[in-house]
Amino acid sequence: MILLDGKVAAQAVKNNLKSQVESFTLQGYRPPKLAAILVGNNGASETYVASKVKNCAEIGFESLLIRLDSNVSETNLLQTIEQLNRDNEVDGILVQLPLPKHISEQKVIEAIHPAKDVDGFHPVNAGKLVQGLPGFIPATPYGIMLLLEHFHIQTKGKHAVVVGRSNIVGRPMSILLSSNIPFGNCTVTIAHSHTINLKEICLQADILVAALGKPAFVTANMVKEGAIVIDVGITRVADTTAKKGFRIKGDVAFEEVAPKTAAITPVPGGVGLMTIAGLLTNTLQAYLNNQQAK
């Protein structure tokens, strides 16, 4: 069994990005800049945004963190996004989800200019992904593709089962794996909460992507011998023995599933780190597009 270590793969991606940034700045160009908006102070969101900002600094990107109160009006948030859309020095914009109930996430996603939408959530980028056109791919599925590439996982002709059909993970993942691209060309089944016989379907998977948000849901009796298992799940499970009072759990029962697999991602230390690698890669691309447009 090979451990698909996100730390190793993400570091390789970041080293590559860092050397590109160094060469641009040596030529006198400004570095890429990512603006992140954090509304309120949800613990998990704070952690994710802090990690994104830290990773930007590591590879020489500039970042701007805009914190807004949880009571901020939708109008104010949309105005903030509009200012960033107009700021030529800002290449990428992300708004950390989830947002407070009184704000429409869809409106916010659609307010970000598609050229700066480095999370790849805007319908324009989603449509481009479906049609195989260049655009921004949502960071988590993109990170998984970078992971498959890093570990030279053969995907062509394989049966991939993706459990989960959200716009940010499952659906784009299924499109990428079925596309005629490197590390694609799978035959894909997409499963969701209405799927009947989920166990039997998962057992057919050469590549199983679990993205449903239910800790340890995928058990050994759902996994084919020799499968590749990608665990996207991140759930905070209360644990009084843990320093922070919780532990991060994936969607796969790792201990029992890992011995059956050819390769598997750990949680934490797997897809989460690759998501940041995907985001940073998108941001560099946004920067290059922005520079070319001048």
180: tokens are 């005629």
Q: Which residues contact 268 (CB under 8 A, 6 or more apart)?
A: 234, 248
SS3 246: strand
Exposure string for 120-140, b = 16+ CB within 10 A, e = fewer? bbbebbbebbeeeeebbbbbb
Between 128 and 192, name the residue whose CB sits nearer to ligand NDP. Answer: 192
> Does residue 140 touch ligand NDP according to CB under 6 A?
yes
Active-site annotation holds for 119: yes
Least distance from ligand NDP to the Cβ atom of residue 163, Å: 5
CB count in 10 Å sphere of residue 238:
8
Which one of 96, 116, 249, 285 is the catalytic residue? Answer: 96
Residue choice 136, 165, 186, 208 for contact with ligand NDP (CB under 6 A): 165
Rounded to 5°, the CA angle 128-171-56 comes to: 70
> Does residue 170 touch ligand NDP according to CB under 6 A?
yes
Strands (DSSP E) contained in 86-201 are 92-95, 159-163, 187-191
> Does residue 169 touch ligand NDP according to CB under 6 A?
yes
CA dihedral 244, 34, 122, 107 (to 10 degrees): 70
Applying CB under 6 A, the site for ligand NDP has a residue count of 25
Active-site annotation holds for 52: yes
Which one of 119, 206, 231, 251 is the catalytic residue? Answer: 119
Least distance from ligand NDP to the Cβ atom of residue 218, Å: 10
Which one of 52, 116, 224, 249 is the catalytic residue? Answer: 52
Least distance from ligand NDP to the Cβ atom of residue 23, Å: 29
Site for ligand NDP in 179-238 (CB under 6 A): 191-195, 198, 211-214, 232-235
**Distance, C-alpha 99 to centroid of its chain:** 18
> Does residue 166 touch ligand NDP according to CB under 6 A?
yes
Helix (H) or strand (E) holding 122: none
Residue choice 161, 163, 202, 216 for contact with ligand NDP (CB under 6 A): 163
Active-site annotation holds for 243: no
Where in the sequence numbering do the catalytic residues fall? 52, 96, 119
Q: Rule CB under 6 A: which residues touch ligand NDP?
A: 140, 163-166, 168-170, 191-195, 198, 211-214, 232-235, 271-272, 275
